[in-house]
Chains A and B, each alone.
Chain A
Amino acid sequence: MAPKRKRAATVASPKKASKDLTKLDTLFNAYKDKGSEEDVIGPDGVEKLCRDLKVDPSQREVLLLAWKMGAKRMGYFSRQEFRDGLSDLGAITIAQLRKVLPRLPLEVQDSAALDEFHRFAFSFCLTEPGQKIIDSEMAAQMLPLVLPEGRFVPQFCTFLTEQKDYKKVNADQWANFLRFSREVKADLSNCEDNPAWPLLLDNFVEYLRQHDEAAT
């Protein structure tokens, strides 16, 4: 269910294009997993890449980069993903990539793009084939990266880790949270307007109300 990507066509002469590709391949090989048979950059390589980019692997920019690449597995970049991602960003060297990174957050200011990024983040956490749910703990860690300024995000993450009813979060609940944080006012006054929130979010509202009472 990969979203349609807009490919920035690098208008260059075929000769330049192939020269760039070779450069990217070389770059890829520098980080590629030496020991394995797969043509991927593994966790160690990713770590090294991050160091060279002077970013922490847990930073938002890295997740955004993974999104740009369309990476299917957390902690791994395939050759194709690497190629596509970097050429999309117009970066073929580490220095160029380092320059491009800070601009990535701007790409998700648009709400449609943020939707896509948010969806991507969920499927990025899935490890087994046919898996449809992620741990609540993982969700709580992911969410601040995806929506650093989202309304209710810190409270929701605390709530997710504290509550015991739902040990896992599914795609529907994940998607509905984004909607919730956009539509529902900070004082919760309009949350009853929509009766169809998943039960997880109903529980969240109850939790917020209880905490409000305790605070006042």
Chain B
Amino acid sequence: MQGGGAERRPIELEAGWQYMGDGIAKLKRILEGDKSEAFTAEHYMMLYTTIYNMCTQKPPHDHSEQLYARYKDAFQVYIQEKVLPSLRDHHDEHLLKQLKQRWDNHKIMVRWLSRFFNYLDRYFIQRHNLHPLNDVGLLVFRDHVYAEIKRASKDSMLKLIESEREGEQIDRSLLKNVLAIFQEVGMGQMECYERDFEEAMLKDTAEYYRRRAAVWIQEDSSPDYLVKAEDCLRDEEERVNSYLHVSTKPKLLKEAENELLKVHQMQLLEKEHSGCAALLRDDKKADLARMYRMFNRLPKGLDPMADIFRKHVEAEGMKLVREATEAAESKKEKEKEAGKAAKEAGSSSPENQFIRGTIGLHDKYMEYVQDSFGNSSLFHKALKEAFESFCNKQVASASVAELMASFCDNLLKKGGSEKLGDEDLEGVLDKVVKMLAYISDKDLFSEFYRKKLARRLLHSTSASEDHEKGVLTRLKQQCGAQFTSKMEGMVSDLQLAKEREKNFEEWRERKSLGGGMDMNVTVLTTGFWPTYKQLELGLPDVMMQGVEQYTQYFDESTNKTRRLSWQFTNGTVHVKATYDKSYELIIMPLQAAVLLPFNDSELMSYGDLKELTKLPDEDLTRCLASLTLSKYKLLAKEGGGKGISPSDSFRINAKFTDRMRRIRVPLPPVDDRKKVQEDVDKDRKHAIEAAIVRIMKSRKALKHQQLLVEVVQQLQRMFAPDVKVIKRAIDSLIERDYLERDANDQQLYKYLA
């Protein structure tokens, strides 16, 4: 170069390019592996400066444009000369390796050349809106190398992937690197990767699993198939994490899941010996859990499975219903033949077994929902629907509501069920109350429970006050305060009774009243307690005296503001009776009225007793049966026939004996199931009317359908109102001028203040 002088002569293009060309050639040699070559700092500076000068010369010696073009050419030449031939020479995995190496080389070349030609980047490209040098380099590779080699590369990669699926080890990092190329040539977009690799890969995958699944579905049981499917999916996920781009994951899994799970879903579920229903039957919890996991991957994939689950639980429940009904009926047959009087259901009765079975069923399948079915709300719903369907059926001609109340009665009364420890008892009671949620006629349960509670409280047969209170608290929590208000009133009445006791005694002392007999009176607040049959009873004088005294006391203490009416159908009387030895008999007032006259007379006919006791036939018959035909034969019957007939006569049974001194002679109640239903229906009618009035008062005007919806909603906590009954209530309220129909819109009701 000529130095010195103020004015430098401009570098000619060809001269300058010659110099550059040498430098480029040196670079190529280095890339080809020549270790003897290297760029000194000085050489690098010279190359840079040459470019700089050629670009800063005044036109027509400003060679920026040509240099830019020749920069690009440099790559193209090298690619044609060395890169492409080499790639064409290699195949399969070797091709990939070559490609990786050539790419790395290219990047080095771009780095160096762009440093030499750097000055172009500063002004020229910006002024003319061109690609920067780095990009030019990449684009050349993309358009000349990548474009030619992409197909073969892709095929090689897919072959490797398939062999990996078949179990062979492959060079994962190689794949990762080559795929990096596919991504980098996208220049910030994933287009090349997706179009030139991913698309084919997904199709390949789908095809691969389609073939496999078709074989497996024929040969394997559902659990075995699902094990394989799970493994495959796990593999694919690992594959993506290892060498594919993260964006491929959802697409890849979708393809695999589709072929493995979706296509064969119904077949897998419905296989006769290993499908979902079969697994439920055989209690295969782990297999079901896997099935759940697998189908959970599909959108809405769990719906068919939840449906099968529901049907299964429902069938199991219906089985319990059938078994209990059949057992109860055959028991009734046997009892009828033996001529026995109706016994109260013991703890092992079919009815109680049904409740216990239902609780067990619930526990079992709730565990399934929690453990195997991921606590999924879909399966919770299926369980709920299954229970709702069979818990509202009739079992042995009783509603499940009634059976539940009887079951609780058994647990809470003295001498009832098996000996359960306190904790266990609490647990069972807790579960029973929870089951109440499945019963739509909750008010029916409430009625039956209330009646039995009353009996336990009044006959002091309740085993534990704490347990009683516990159940009431739980019921209140579950169903609201209104549900338990009457029952709580009953319990508090009893507590009050104790106080009244004291006052009564004091009153008697003050009046110096003696005589009568020892008696405890419990005053029941009407409304809280079930309504009992009002009977006039002819009691022995000694008892009547006490009754009259108390009535007097009560009238005085309440200033005649309340009226007392005596319920002789409840209560207990302790009678000392001497047969072969002294016994204490615990009996009901009705029975006492029948028994005590025998103090005065040895033989009494049915008619005599009827006159004395003033009892109607059905009650008298019941009493006599309990004293003559049941476990404790205190009286002897004279007269043919198995049952009690008006032509019979009675006398004390001289042969009576028992090893116990204290005997409770039960008088089985007439649990009028029909009456309870009638009472409940009546209450419902009032509840519906009250609800309608409440709703209309606040809304002023409401369309018919809307009113129905709101009424149902307000009452659903207690029962499911029948549409017809609601309509009847509406009609009645219109008649009584609470509501009217709008003159213009027949479906609109208006509230009349």
Chain A residues with CB under 8 Å of chain B are: 132-133, 170-173, 176, 179, 194-196, 198-200, 202
The complex places the Cα of A170 from the Cα of B732 at a distance, in Å, of 9
14 contacts between A and B (CB under 8 A): A132-B735, A170-B731, A170-B735, A171-B735, A172-B735, A172-B741, A176-B746, A179-B746, A195-B705, A196-B704, A196-B741, A196-B747, A199-B724, A199-B727
Within 8 Å CB of A195, what residues of B?
704-705, 708, 747
Within 8 Å CB of A133, what residues of B?
735
The complex places the Cα of A145 from the Cα of B455 at a distance, in Å, of 60
Give the residue name and chain of the B residue nearest to A179 (CB).
B746
Asked whether B734 is an interface residue with its Cβ less than 8 Å from the other chain, the reply is yes
The complex places the Cα of A133 from the Cα of B736 at a distance, in Å, of 11
Q: Is the CB of A173 within 8 A of B746?
A: no
Q: Is the CB of B727 within 8 A of A170?
A: no
Q: Is the CB of A173 within 8 A of B731?
A: yes
Quote the shortest CB–CB distance from A15 to chain B (angstroms).
Answer: 44
The complex places the Cα of A202 from the Cα of B722 at a distance, in Å, of 14
List residues of B (697-724) whose CB comes within 8 Å of A's CBs. 703-705, 708, 724
Asked whether B273 is an interface residue with its Cβ less than 8 Å from the other chain, the reply is no
- Known contacts A132-B735, A172-B734; is A198 also within 8 Å of B746 by CB? no
Within 8 Å CB of A202, what residues of B?
724, 727
Within 8 Å CB of B730, what residues of A?
198
Give the residue name and chain of the A residue nearest to B739 (CB).
A172
Within 8 Å CB of A173, what residues of B?
731
The complex places the Cα of A199 from the Cα of B708 at a distance, in Å, of 14
Q: Is the CB of A172 within 8 A of B724?
A: no
Q: Is the CB of A198 within 8 A of B727?
A: yes
Within 8 Å CB of B662, what residues of A?
none
Q: Is the CB of A198 within 8 A of B731?
A: yes
Asked whether B61 is an interface residue with its Cβ less than 8 Å from the other chain, the reply is no
Q: Is the CB of A194 within 8 A of B727?
A: no
Asked whether B264 is an interface residue with its Cβ less than 8 Å from the other chain, the reply is no
Give the residue name and chain of the B residue nearest to A132 (CB).
B735
Give the residue name and chain of the A residue nearest to B707 (CB).
A196
Asked whether B728 is an interface residue with its Cβ less than 8 Å from the other chain, the reply is yes
Which of A133, A176, A196, A199: most chain B Cβ within 10 A? A196
3 shortest A-B CB distances, which residue pairs? A196-B704, A196-B747, A199-B727
5 new A-B contacts at CB < 8 Å, known A173-B731, A195-B705? A170-B731, A172-B735, A176-B746, A195-B747, A196-B704
Within 8 Å CB of B734, what residues of A?
170, 172
Q: Is the CB of A199 within 8 A of B746?
A: no
Quote the shortest CB–CB distance from B659 to chain A (angstroms).
Answer: 59
Within 8 Å CB of B727, what residues of A?
198-199, 202
- Known contacts A170-B731, A199-B728, A199-B731; is A194 also within 8 Å of B741 by CB? no
Q: Is the CB of B731 within 8 A of A172?
A: yes
Quote the shortest CB–CB distance from B167 to chain A (angstroms).
Answer: 66
Give the residue name and chain of the A residue nearest to B745 (CB).
A196
The complex places the Cα of A193 from the Cα of B36 at a distance, in Å, of 98
Quote the shortest CB–CB distance from A153 to chain B (angstroms).
Answer: 19
The complex places the Cα of A194 from the Cα of B741 at a distance, in Å, of 14
Quote the shortest CB–CB distance from A114 to chain B (angstroms).
Answer: 16
The complex places the Cα of A170 from the Cα of B677 at a distance, in Å, of 29
Within 8 Å CB of B741, what residues of A?
172, 196
Within 8 Å CB of B705, what residues of A?
195-196
The complex places the Cα of A170 from the Cα of B746 at a distance, in Å, of 16
Within 8 Å CB of B704, what residues of A?
195-196
Quote the shortest CB–CB distance from A26 to chain B (angstroms).
Answer: 43
Give the residue name and chain of the B residue nearest to A170 (CB).
B735
Within 8 Å CB of A171, what residues of B?
735
The complex places the Cα of A171 from the Cα of B736 at a distance, in Å, of 11
The complex places the Cα of A104 from the Cα of B724 at a distance, in Å, of 41
Quote the shortest CB–CB distance from A195 to chain B (angstroms).
Answer: 5
The complex places the Cα of A200 from the Cα of B731 at a distance, in Å, of 9
The complex places the Cα of A193 from the Cα of B730 at a distance, in Å, of 19
The complex places the Cα of A172 from the Cα of B724 at a distance, in Å, of 17
Within 8 Å CB of A172, what residues of B?
731, 734-735, 741
Within 8 Å CB of A200, what residues of B?
731
Quote the shortest CB–CB distance from A115 to chain B (angstroms).
Answer: 11
Quote the shortest CB–CB distance from B397 to chain A (angstroms).
Answer: 26
Quote the shortest CB–CB distance from B524 to chain A (angstroms).
Answer: 37
Within 8 Å CB of B746, what residues of A?
176, 179, 194, 196
Quote the shortest CB–CB distance from B728 to chain A (angstroms).
Answer: 5
The complex places the Cα of A132 from the Cα of B724 at a distance, in Å, of 22
Quote the shortest CB–CB distance from A130 to chain B (angstroms).
Answer: 11
The complex places the Cα of A176 from the Cα of B705 at a distance, in Å, of 17
The complex places the Cα of A133 from the Cα of B724 at a distance, in Å, of 21
Within 8 Å CB of B747, what residues of A?
194-196
Quote the shortest CB–CB distance from B727 to chain A (angstroms).
Answer: 4
Give the residue name and chain of the B residue nearest to A180 (CB).
B746
Quote the shortest CB–CB distance from A175 to chain B (angstroms).
Answer: 8
The complex places the Cα of A200 from the Cα of B727 at a distance, in Å, of 9
Within 8 Å CB of A179, what residues of B?
746
Quote the shortest CB–CB distance from B707 to chain A (angstroms).
Answer: 9
Within 8 Å CB of A199, what residues of B?
724, 727-728, 731
Quote the shortest CB–CB distance from B704 to chain A (angstroms).
Answer: 4
Give the residue name and chain of the B residue nearest to A183 (CB).
B746
Which of A171, A172, A173, A176: most chain B Cβ within 10 A? A172
